[in-house]
Structure 1
Amino acid sequence: MKGKVLLIGLGLIGGSLALAMRRSHKDIIIMGYDVNKEQCRLAKKLQVIDEECVTIEDGAKEADLVIIATPVNITPSIIATLANCTLKENVIVTDVGSTKQKIVKASTILRENGITFIGGHPMAGSHKSGVIAAKERLFENAFYLLTPTDGIPMEKVEQLKEWLAGTNAKFLHISPKEHDYITGVISHFPHIIAASLVHQAEQANNGKNLVNRLAAGGFRDITRIASSSPDMWRDILLHNKDVMLRLLSEWRQEMERVEQLLHEENETGIYDYFFQAKETRDQLPTNKKGAIHSFYDLFVDVPDYPGVISEITGYLAIEDISITNIRILETREDIYGVLVISFQTDDDRKRAVHCIEHYTDYMTSFGP
């Protein structure tokens, strides 16, 4: 395809989309706009975009495709701005927000002007943020949800998918209402639960450090998503308020069920509760990208001596393997420590295993 793309919002998602599109469409020109001018500068320097736009209006009038990659609370105002711009007749406008009903409703003003808007949500992310963390393969094999409304010609949807073909994502069509409920169940609500678990542990700590020390292992892992951006999750929850309230009500009923089982000392009921959860959990797809980004951790048993961390990271650097995080588990009492290294992809983790095994005799595993 040929043409011009206006990318509004030059963060991780927007930048990754730009790199993916450039991979499959060599002749496109990508224009970028961000209120953070440093992000614009970085995007141009990293060749994520070809041109910087001083205003949205400057880029919008030339664009064949407009991608809004801003926080969900800002997207409606961007749509309103676009509605007052002089746009090409055949332009497609889309977004990448993780809530859809309010955004699609706001897009009515575009459709009334004869402009095609197709809501979108690439279900992939990363531990890092900003355009500097952008990856052209971020969305590979991830689900990319599209929420075209009634009246949107299918050829427009197919055209958008062609623009985004370089993502190598799996496109699914879904209604805005169904989108918000499903993502509420598998992404938005789990973030509430993770945050609540952390709050509960902090209250139990009661000024002591023992709870925090013992929580450094599995507890830290199951609550990792609580480290996500508070700004982003505030906006998402407010945008998906009705679904969240419904899920919170259902969660209270679920906890009352568990409470009743405990009051009754119902051994069979408690066993069945965990058994059914295990059966469902074990049937979930493995090595698939979903609404919550995956964590690719490698656990390395290393001897406790000065310089061992720089030794390991040095070997990874030799093989050009990037890491996203590194930490030491403090729950082991023997002479070996456990180094936990996080990677962007499963492929990077597998390469790290071969690298460490090649240069050292340290034991590695995908679990503690």
Structure 2
Amino acid sequence: MSNTENIQINKILVVGLGLIGASLCRALKNNQKYDKVLGYDCDRDVTNYALKNNYVDEVSLDLKKGINDSDLIVICVPVHQIKYILNIAKDYFNTEKIFTDTLSTKNTILEFMNNNNFLDTKNFVLSHPMAGTEHYGIKNSKSDLFFEAVTFISSLVDLNLDNINKVKNMWESLNCNVVLIDPKIHDEYLAIISHAPHAISFALSKNTNTQYLSKKFPEINLKGSLSGMTRIANSEPEAWASIFKDNRSNLTKYIDEYLEELGELKSMIASENDDALVSYLKKSKPIK
């Protein structure tokens, strides 16, 4: 029997109180399934804001103490900060504590576990709720951000099923739709459905800015196709730079495929073959 099998989840510590972490705290507080929701962030102004607005029951100013006082720890920091958190949390791997995360890529976590001989860790469940907006920071958090969000859960080698279920139950208590997936397939899939669209949006927005269209026609960014396609380019640059770098092998492969596809479309537009262009556009309609 696992040493976590009879452990009940009463206290949850959320590490990182940005958009995702603060929204998670608010959602957990609202559903009242757990006795206490604790929050940790390296920015004291952020923890004060969380406490003042009742997003958390308590704040922890010391991460190790916060982990020690909690049953389930949810890591909600950006990719470029995850190694720092894991280096502190590793003393609690393979204990009665349960860890999970919300990262959009799993490569850095898997590398850390592999390089430090923690791949047999049985109390770390990889999670990724497909939720968010182009806005960021605690002041943009939403208590219903995770409602009906698809949430991927991945396991390390020989992960304890009871731990998976405890993490799964937490997400389902927030009305998330949980999907089990291999972590490497997760990163491949996210490159297609999330990371590449963000990269394309950033590139399109930058090109538009270069053309000075925003200054000539300010209303161009308010409505229409361009606004719809560049909305997510307002996302936090530092966070997305770290996501792009962490999933670079999958992302660059898909960008190459996209450029090839765009080149084919460009050739058809330049040609005299109208039927071929219409046929291409018909085949491009989203599958529902």
Residues 88 and 255 (structure 1), Cα distance of their counterparts in 2 relative to 1, 3 Å cut: closer
After superposition, residues 282-361 of structure 1 pair within 5 angstroms as 283=288
The amino acid that maps onto 1:143 is: V
State the one-letter code of the partner of 2:89: L
Kept in 2, the 8 Å contact 1:21–1:164? The answer is no
Residue 256 of structure 1: aligned partner: 263
Tell me how many residue pairs correspond in the alignment.
279
Shift of 1:211: 5.6
Normalised to the residue count of structure 2, the TM-score between the two structures is: 0.87
Question: 2:104 pairs with 95, 98, 104, which one?
Answer: 98
Equivalent-residue separation in structure 2 for 1:213 and 1:239 (angstroms): 35
Match of 1:60 in 2: 67
Alpha carbons 2:14, 2:38 under 8 Å: kept: yes
Match 1:194 to one of 190, 193, 201: 201
Q: Do the aligned partners of 2:125 and 2:155 also contact (CA within 8 Å) in 1? A: yes
Within 5 Å, which residues of 2 pair with 1:1-368?
2-84=9-91, 86=92, 89-108=95-114, 109=116, 111=118, 114-205=121-212, 209-210=215-216, 213-214=219-220, 216-218=222-224, 219-278=226-285, 280=286, 283=288
Change (3 A) 1:213 1:130: closer
Which range moves more in the overlay, 19-28 or 243-252?
19-28
CA distance in 1, matches of 2:58, 2:142: 19
Residue pair 2:192, 2:254 contacting (<8 A) in 1 also: yes
Q: CA deviation at 1:34?
A: 0.5
Shift in Å, 1:167: 1.3
Q: Following the alignment from structure 1 to structure 2, what is the Cα–Cα distance between the partners of residues 80 and 74?
A: 11
1-side partners of 2:29 and 2:63: how far apart? 21
Name the CA distance, whole Å, in 2 between partners of 1:277 and 1:122.
Answer: 28
Question: CA 1:127/1:191 → structure 2, altered by over 3 Å: closer, same or farther?
Answer: closer
- In the alignment, the residues of structure 1 paired with residue 96 and residue 117 of structure 2 have an alpha-carbon distance, to the nearest angstrom, of 12
Over 3 Å counting, the alpha-carbon distance change for 1:82 and 1:248 in structure 2 is same
AA paired with 2:109? I
Give RMSD over aligned pairs.
Answer: 2.4
Q: CA deviation at 1:40?
A: 0.6
Residue identity in the other structure for 1:141: E
* Paired residues of 1:107 and 1:117 also in contact (CA < 8 A): no
Q: Could you tell me how far apart the structure 1 residues matched to 2:9 and 2:103 are?
A: 25
Give the helix-richer structure, 1 or 2: 2
CA distance 1:212–1:137, change in 2 (3 Å): closer
How far, CA to CA, are the matches of 2:56 and 2:186 in structure 1?
30
Give distance in 1, aligned partners of 2:37 and 2:148.
Answer: 24
Counterpart-to-counterpart distance in 1, 2:9 and 2:249: 41
**Structure 2: gaps of 5 or more residues:** 1-7
CA distance in 1, matches of 2:11, 2:117: 19
Distance 1:80 1:113, change over 3 A: farther
Tell me: CA distance 1:78–1:266, structure 2 relative to 1, closer, same or farther (3 Å): same
